[in-house]
Structure 1
Amino acid sequence: MLAPRSLRSRLLLASGASLAAVALMTGCTSGGSTTSTDTAVEENTVEDNAASGETITIGFSGPAADHGWLGAINSAAIAEADKYDDVELVVAEGTNDANLQISQVETFINDKVDAIVLLPTDGAALTDVAIKAMQAGIPVINVDREFSSTFAARTTILGDNYGMGVSAGTYICEQLDGKKDAVVAEIAGIDSLPLTQDRSKGFADALDDCGLEVSNRVAADFTVQGGEAAASQLLASAPKIDAIWNHDDDQGVGVLAAIDAAGRDEFFMVGGAGSANVMRDIQADNTVLKATVIYPSTQAADGISLARLIVQGKGMSDLVESAVPRKIQLYAPVVTKENVEVYLPSAFES
């Protein structure tokens, strides 16, 4: 179902702003000059894009895979590169140390790779070295965590954290169907992170459009242990709940453990991110978990695919525009029992 009109308007405006940022094939520098990332786009068909071209080397660097979603990011990127006989993928060891990741990118630059796909452990900290790569004529594909300068990336691929909150809130509104006294609870991730703030803002906006609000809110830390502790606190302070949105399916393992321990089942729960174990629970329909909102773990894989197109001078064949867009934001769909079979094959294990 569509979101209510006022919320749809906000989303359409946001989408328009993203689509307007289409297609600079130039790797601009702060001085306004261009780099060798300027490539003439000659073809824009499915057949030409799939055809093998000149072999290119792509460097990939991401954070340590200490979370199910991050592990899926890495494995999907490697699997995508394996599809192409004209792509050689160099994978740096995953790290949560920004300085180490900077040195990895500098190695890619020194080795003169053709493109870099980078999910930065800290977008601001990796901005300068990404600009350095762009100035060296190496297109950078920024994944998930944005750099602080537009000159640091040729293309940026993002999930939709605000949209996750909107999707979760809209689903809950639909299920509660006008119950104005409903008690809605929220188990967030790490409150200091912009992504958590965006998810909470989208959730609050969607609830507001159907006359509801968050009655009880706690924050966890994206871990199983943190989810269990936060959920235990929430359940102890809220004797009655109608619906819960938990931001993250990894921490949701602990959330469900706390719910089971408390013997509570008067509410339904919506998850976040889209893990396989959560989707199996939704499919079985034997817990309070009835839906989850996807935060795509395909972003780096998309980055590999787009890096190949950019370096080989190709565009996206389903677009009239002849070049790869400068920014792409992925959708945050709701997975329920009715559509879970569509999403389960690509889900990650938490």
Structure 2
Amino acid sequence: MNMFKKLGFSVGMSVVLLLAACGEENSGAEEADSGNGGDAEKTIGVSISNLDEFLTYMQEAMIAEGESHPDFEFVFSDAQNEGATQLDQVENFISRDVDAIVLHPVDTVSAVDIVDRANDAGIPIVVANRTFEGIEAATAFVGSESIVSGTLQMEAVAELLDGEGNVAIMEGELGHEAQIMRTQGNLDIIKEYPGIEVVYQGTAIFSRSEGMQLMENWLNSGEEIDAVVANNDEMAIGAIMALEAEGKLDDVIVAGIDATPAALEYMQDGLLDVTVYQDAIGQGANSIKAAVSAANGEEVDDILVPYELVTPENVDEYMDKYDQ
């Protein structure tokens, strides 16, 4: 695998409703066909860890790209953030003898086993969005370098702080690649600024409600906070809600990652200061393209989709990407 091969793209997105329920067992998680089944010559199974806002856009982009391949049937499964469920879904794909699998892994442990099982069955497997130790055994990776997002985010925050202040880092679910590398990107930049101190660092598991609760706890501790740097937008929004409730939002810089539509709306309203665009549409579409190529016996390289800094000055440009 070549983890540094980049591919430019311009992909439109259409929202597709999953209407056709699949008749096979899938351990209680949602599974649906793309609708190409009648004319399809080949099948691709897609297992996504869960359908939060970002991943919903990624799946919609997958579905839209799938419409460009009428000779393929696409079977989509939602693992509902359960590693055992995702493993069952992939086992189901293997028993159906699909021609390729797209995997957005629930966790870094079960992902290794899933890739091994696909390889043992001789089925190409494309990993989307999340990396893990052992990913080199997969056919290809389509996604972004998480450390870059943390670096871009913290560089912008450091500039807004003029190089001085107390920072609270709100981490995602511990052990996830995004949590580890986005936080590392933050810390790498902070080392360059002697005037910036990390006064809090804790997990809110990528959740808005957990982010709000964690922010409330930090505020109650009495330590001064000049900036909150969150591993994703949902936690940043939670922090904003807590800060607003205490009348302290005007005094604190808040930064997230992903540039979801909800986050962009908060930025347009003057509530969110920084986010980093992670291209759900590009990752989703290119994952399907890679899986189709692999299913057709073609050689497939990794595709790295770049992160981009979003600020109030360019936020409208990124909102337009979701309106296309």
TM-score range, shorter chain: 0.7 to 0.9
What is aligned with 1:245?
229
Residue 324 of structure 1: SS of its match in structure 2?
coil
CA deviation map 1:251-294 (0-9, x unaligned)? 23321111111111123221122221211222233x2x122123
Structure 1 residue 132, shift from structure 2 partner: 3.1
Per the alignment, residue 210 of structure 2 pairs with 226
Q: Which has the larger radius of gyration?
A: 1
1:309-348 counterparts in 2 under 5 A? 309-312=293-296, 323-325=299-301, 327-346=302-321
Aligned length: 287
Runs of 4+ with >6 A deviation: none
Letter in 2 for 1:328: I
- Deviation at 1:205? 0.8
Do residues 294 (structure 1) and 270 (structure 2) align?
Answer: no
Letter in 1 for 2:95: N
In the alignment, the residues of structure 2 paired with residue 303 and residue 229 of structure 1 have an alpha-carbon distance, to the nearest angstrom, of 35
CA distance in 1, matches of 2:256, 2:136: 35
3-state secondary structure, aligned to 1:190:
coil
* Equivalent residue number for residue 57 of structure 1: 43
CA distance in 2, matches of 1:151, 1:203: 26
Aligned-pair distance for 1:55? 4.8
1:32 paired residue number: none
Q: 2:184 aligns with which of 169, 183, 201?
A: 201
Q: How does 1:1-350 map to 2 (within 5 A)?
A: 18-19=3-4, 55-65=41-51, 67-146=52-131, 148-150=133-135, 152-177=137-162, 179=163, 181-219=164-202, 220-238=204-222, 240-264=224-248, 265-285=250-270, 287=271, 289-298=272-281, 299-312=283-296, 323-325=299-301, 327-346=302-321
Q: Identity of counterpart residues, as a percentage? A: 28
TM-score, normalised by the number of residues in structure 2? 0.77
Equivalent-residue separation in structure 1 for 2:88 and 2:224 (angstroms): 52
Change (3 A) 1:132 1:241: closer
Equivalents in 1 of 2:47, 2:104: separation in Å?
Answer: 6
**Which residue matches 2:19?**
none
Greater shift after overlay, 225-234 or 157-166? Answer: 157-166
Q: Conserved in 1, the CA contact under 8 Å of 2:157 and 2:274?
A: no
Determine if contact 2:104/2:128 at 8 Å carries over to the other structure.
yes
> Counterpart amino acid of 2:304?
Q
Amino acid at match of 2:308: P
Coordinate RMSD, CA, aligned: 2.9
- Superposition deviation, residue 304 in structure 1: 0.7
SS at match of 1:252: helix
Distance in structure 1 (CA, Å) of the matches to 2:71 and 2:255: 41
| Matches of 2:233 and 2:296, distance apart in 1 | 37
- Runs of 5+ in structure 2 lacking a partner? 7-39
Query: 2:134, 2:176 → 1: CA distance?
Result: 19
Instruction: Name the aligned partner's letter for residue 297 of structure 1.
Output: A
Tell me the secondary structure at the aligned position of residue 80 of structure 1.
helix
Contact 2:233 2:263 in 1 (8 A): yes
For structure 1, which segment, 214-223 or 161-170, has the greater mean C-alpha deviation from structure 2 after superposition? Answer: 214-223
Assess, with a 3 A threshold, how the Cα gap between structure 1 residues 110 and 290 changes in structure 2: closer, same or farther. Answer: same
* Cα contact 1:105–1:130 (8 A) shared by 2: no
Matched to 2:117, the amino acid is K
Q: Distance in 2 between matches of 1:62 and 1:171?
A: 31
Q: Secondary structure at the match of 1:64?
A: coil
2:54 & 2:136 partners in 1: Cα distance? Answer: 28
SS class of match (1:235):
helix
